[in-house]
Amino acid sequence: MGLIKLTLLVFLYHQLVWQDNPLNGHSNLVCASISVPLRVTLSQDAFPNVTLSQDSESPNVTLSQDAAPNVTLSQDSESPNVTLSQDSESPNVTLSQDSESPNVTLSQDSESPNVTLSQDSESPNVTLSQDASPNVTLSQDASPNVTLSQDSESPNVTLSQDSESPNVTLSQDSESPNVTLSQDSESPNVTLSQDSVS
């Protein structure tokens, strides 16, 4: 009788180990599905060569980088209310948004050369701004209510808007030589301004 009980105990123990041990590929746990989260924050502070990317249908995404060179911040999808920001002494920064996304803000504020801020899609209410950096390119293609602004001692700045976009403002205000402000398309109510020693 004792041998039978011992055999049953060994059998039950074997069944439990076989079902629950993750090494054998079996488990009684239910796999949880992963959904795209709302209000996602991707942040990086003070590291070089960092890539922050978001590629999906996710509203209210924040991509931020503070004080790192060679940084890429990118958003590529149908995502409203996206903020891409870079604030520090960081060269070679790329901020890009490429999709049908309203209310996008691309901003760069610091001593950072060779910065590219770009928006390329049907996206209303886009703000591209750069403060205090040389060799900056601000570009917007095919969006209404766009603001492109550069305000500081920055040479070789290009502000461009090319498409059917009303209410566009391109502005440059500071000691900046070799600045190009251009608007090329069927766009009413456009302001192109340059105010300083250029």
Could you tell me the pTM of the whole model? 0.29
| Mean pLDDT, the chain, integer | 49
Residue 43 confidence (pLDDT) above 50:
no
Rounded to 5 degrees, what are φ and ψ at 140? -145, 130
Coil, strand, or helix at residue 154? coil
Domain extents in the chain: 38-186
In this prediction, residue 27 has a pLDDT band, given cuts at 50, 70 and 90, of very low
Question: What's the CA gap between 132 and 150, in Å, rounded?
Answer: 8
Name the DSSP letter for residue 128. E
Percentage of the chain beyond pLDDT 70 is 0
pLDDT tens by residue, 73-132: 555 555 454 555 555 555 545 555 555 544 455 555 555 454 555 555 554 445 555 554
